[in-house]
Amino acid sequence: MSQDLCFLPATELRARISSKEVSPVEITRAVLERAERLQPELNCFITLCGEEAMVQAQTAERQVMAGEPLGLLHGIPLTVKDIVNTRGVRTTFGAVPYRNNVPDEDAVAVARLRAQGAVLIGKTTTPEFGSKCLTDSPLFGRTRNAWSAARTSGGSSGGAAVAVASGIAPLAIATDGGGSTRIPAACNGVVGLKQSNGVIPHSQVQDAFGNQTYVTPTTRSVADTALMMQAMAGEDASDPWSIGLAVPDFIEAATPSGDLRGRKVLFCLSPPGRPVASEVAASFRASLERLAGLGAELEEFSGEGFDVEPIWRAINHTVWRSRFEPFAEKHGDELSEAFLRQLALAANVSGVEYQRAMFERTALFRRVQSLFTRADWLAMPTLTRTALPIEQDLFGAIDIDGRSFDNLRPHWFPWTMPFNMTGHPAISLPGGFDRDGLPIGIQLVGRFRADAELLRLAAMFEASSGLLGRWPG
């Protein structure tokens, strides 16, 4: 029974709790037992808060039995990436110098999920300050893929995706600054959404106006993502891009009904010169056929102008250097070589070069906007190949179908970084599996602020794929 509870979607748990068929205590106990059993193998948690979670679950159970009004997520287990503040629960940012840091308040997104009754069971692993696409740190070691201990979880929200995929908790808060939600979602076969700019307030970001990072949901199903979105979205005074935004009915939008007749999807396999593994390409073609089977008109678009890693790096690493250079000077002996090398990459970026990159960011936004004058959605592979080996180095070569390529980022995830900079919503969904049984992701992109419409497409694709319910052994 406990195993069954661990893999039920949050939407089903919500219904069973409401009908008193199952208790929040029973659910919380089951996922905590699973977390403790799998943690030595997967290493996806930096902190488990079992005692606090059971107290929350007991309170939730009493409220159910008393007939009190229940929140959207009443009694449902939640994990939070260790880069997002949680009141009274250790938040290390994956960095040794912060190993004993305990925030005084929740991030806005966390507070909203707690207010809707979610039960926090633990903090999931992240590389130092979410700084790379692999989840490892001197503080906790490596997080392993939910499907294969020999593969990486992806990053930087690797722990979040692994916890969801392995049946520990159905809901996870992640973050995404260049693909950090969608990369591990694709690696572990789960749903990872990077919403439009401002839809979910980001109360921790220092440069709110130039921000390209997002606090995001990671779940096993599109319906569960919609449930999280409903609770997390809405304006907050801390985030200027959130002010004035109405909250649509995400839950209703994620109902897979109707078809796609009269709608168009533009697709592209990769930017020019970026190779894609043959099995990923085959899975992508099959995914496009599913969209066509739903009635969508398909048209290929050119990937020219989308190889944007140099622009992303100039902006992102300059932000990191501004934030962390004094910190690194003080604590350099406790930080990883990869983190320090990334800070050093911004040392030669001048103010003029940074501003030119910002100009290019605006040009990229307009390029994407021009595509949406021709179509309703965009589609592309989330990653060019499946999860990398567990020992992969950020500055090492990447192997794609037996060929070796330098510079991991633009060769593995060329399609995730653009939409951090433009603010368009982008979701990674399970699209298939390779011959080794590793997940392959497809990324769908929606119009700016049309997140509910993107969830509708994602729900329809998910229903047509037949992959929902296939999880690691």
Q: From first to last of its 473 residues, what are the pLDDT tens digits of the chain?
A: 566 899 999 999 999 999 999 999 999 999 999 999 999 999 999 999 999 999 999 999 999 999 999 999 999 999 999 999 999 999 999 999 999 999 999 999 999 999 999 999 999 999 999 999 999 999 999 999 999 999 999 999 999 999 999 999 999 999 999 999 999 999 999 999 999 999 999 999 999 999 999 999 999 999 999 999 999 999 999 999 999 999 999 999 999 999 999 999 999 999 999 999 999 999 999 999 999 999 999 999 999 999 999 999 999 999 999 999 999 999 999 999 999 999 998 898 999 999 999 999 999 999 999 999 999 999 999 999 999 999 999 999 999 999 999 999 999 999 999 999 999 999 999 999 999 999 999 999 999 999 999 999 999 999 999 999 899 98
DSSP 167-216: TS-SEEEEEESSSTTHHHHHHHT-EEEE--TTTS--SS-S-SSS---EEE
Q: What is the pLDDT of residue 469?
A: 86
Active site residue 302: no
Q: What is the pLDDT of residue 3?
A: 60
Out of 23, 81, 157, 203, pick the active-site residue.
81
Which residues, including other chains, have CB under 8 Å from residue 4's CB and lie 6 or more apart? none
Structure tokens at 11: 């939407």
Out of 137, 156, 203, 283, pick the active-site residue.
156
Q: Is the N-terminal amide bond of 322 cis, ω within 30° of 0?
A: no
- 6, 471 contact by CB (below 8 A): no
- CATH H superfamily, domain 2-309+358-465: Amidase signature (AS) domain (3.90.1300.10)
- Domain segments of the chain as ranges: 2-309+358-465
pTM value > 0.95? yes
Reported as a single tens digit per residue, the pLDDT across 295-326 is: 999 999 999 999 999 999 999 999 999 999 99
Residue type, 469: G
Active site residue 156: yes
Reported as a single tens digit per residue, the pLDDT across 15-50 is: 999 999 999 999 999 999 999 999 999 999 999 999
Q: What is the pLDDT of residue 169?
A: 96
DSSP 91-155: --TT-GGGTT---SS--HHHHHHHHTT-EEEEEE--SGGG-SSS-EETTTEEPBPSS-TTBB--S
Out of 131, 153, 166, 180, pick the active-site residue.
180
Q: What is the pLDDT of residue 473?
A: 80
Q: What is the pLDDT of residue 79?
A: 98
Distance CA 225, CA 100 (A): 31
Active site residue 180: yes
